[in-house]
Amino acid sequence: KLRIPGGEIPSAMKALWRLRLFTDVQIYKEKTIGDVVFLEIKVEERARLSRHSFKGVKKSYHDDLNDIVNVHLVKGAIVTESIKNNAKVGIKEFFRDKGYKNAVVRVKEIEEKKGNKVRLVFNIDRKERVKIQEIIIVGNDNVKTGKLKRKMKGTKEKRRIFSSSKFIDPDYDMDKQTLIDYYNTLGFRDAKIMSDSMWYNEKDDLMIQINIKEGNRYFFRNITWKGNSIYETETLEKVLGIEKGDVYNTELLQTRLSFSQDGRDVS
């Protein structure tokens, strides 16, 4: 049951629009017989995908890019804005991971001559690779800045000789974790990166600031053994090689217990 005019017809049209499958939606009243109405729903379907291509990048990238966009694009499927945006985001993330942080991707629809089909062309402008002008580290009261920067193997400043200064997100994330791991080896088991920020200087080079909270430095105190019926405590202590008062080092402890490369560990 519905009222004409009333709110049901507009609500039905809105529901069809929300599917994002149509470029036009209309509902007509064909005729009325008594209290029975005959409705015709006329929609114009969005174009379907025939194929896609890339412009602005070398063919050596095409296989990788196809793997990315094929997750979102299906030949013969209806082309929606959401599908195009998801493909664009995937392409931008691909180039960002290669150091092209400012890559721009535009999608152009080209109508095919036959049928309601379109070809998508992804125009890609990688821009220049982002260069890191300077890495600023704040809060490192107990470790020299230069030492911390040398630990960052994938994130280097531009002004360093023979070093690559391109910014790559995954490498940067790994380098931040490397800093914390290094602090842990020095006894700062509570060390953490409180925040980090990035901005561009007047030459469009990237500036990075990392804010560290070192926390307290810890030391080994008493080490006791339980369940050692085969070897004496003195033997295990000699293999472990850690004395009371040594700087607390999680990596060293695990290595001496189980992961020594030469097999000279407790396990």
pLDDT at 160 over 80: no
**Predicted pLDDT at 46:** 83
In the sheet that holds 132-138, the strands lie side by side as 132-138, 206-213, 192-200
> 178-211, pLDDT tens digit by residue?
999 999 999 999 999 999 999 988 888 899 999 9
For residue 121, name the pLDDT band (cuts at 50, 70, 90). Answer: very high
Distance of CA 140 to the CA centre of its chain: 27
Measure Cα distances from 96 to 46, 154, 248 in Å: 31, 14, 38
> 6-38, pLDDT tens digit by residue?
889 999 999 998 887 888 999 999 999 988 999
> 66-80, pLDDT tens digit by residue?
999 999 998 888 888
- The Cα–Cα gap between 192 and 180 comes to 6
Region of 22 (left: φ > 0; alpha: ψ -120 to 50; beta: rest) is beta
The pTM (predicted TM-score) of the whole model is 0.63
Rg of the chain over Cα atoms, rounded to whole angstroms, equals 31
The mean pLDDT value of the chain amounts to: 90
**Predicted pLDDT at 162:** 54
- The Cα–Cα gap between 233 and 236 comes to 5
**Predicted pLDDT at 116:** 82
- The Cα–Cα gap between 96 and 103 comes to 7
pLDDT at 56 over 70: yes
> 224-257, pLDDT tens digit by residue?
999 999 999 999 999 999 999 999 998 889 889 9
User: Locate tokens 């990075």: which residue?
Assistant: 208
For residue 164, name the pLDDT band (cuts at 50, 70, 90). Answer: low
**Predicted pLDDT at 130:** 84
